[in-house]
């Protein structure tokens, strides 16, 4: 599991340098931003469905600096 992140970055670097056509690279910013929004949305749904997270947050309360 530890190697997934650096492996994905290395694969992306190699594909971006040698394989990805310039026409696709122009749209990569939009694709990456959209994928990030979907990932954060999915994380929010996952956290929202976990009742234990809400119970722990409720017990912690707000803490000032």
Tell me the domain boundaries of the chain: 21-65
Summarised one tens digit per residue, pLDDT across range 1-41 is: 789 999 999 999 999 999 999 998 899 999 999 999 999 99
Summarised one tens digit per residue, pLDDT across range 42-53 is: 999 998 899 888
| DSSP line for 5-60 | HHHHHHHHHHHHHHT--HHHHTTHHHHHHHHHHHHHHHHHHHHHH-HHHHHHHHHH
Tell whether pTM > 0.85.
no
């Amino acid at each position: 599991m530890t190697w997934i992140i650096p492996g994905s970055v290395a694969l992306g670097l190699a594909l971006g340098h040698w394989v990805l056509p310039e026409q696709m690279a122009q749209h990569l910013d939009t694709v990456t931003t959209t994928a990030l929004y979907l990932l954060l949305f999915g994380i929010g749904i996952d956290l929202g469905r976990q009742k234990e997270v809400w119970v722990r947050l409720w017990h912690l309360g707000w803490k000032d600096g």
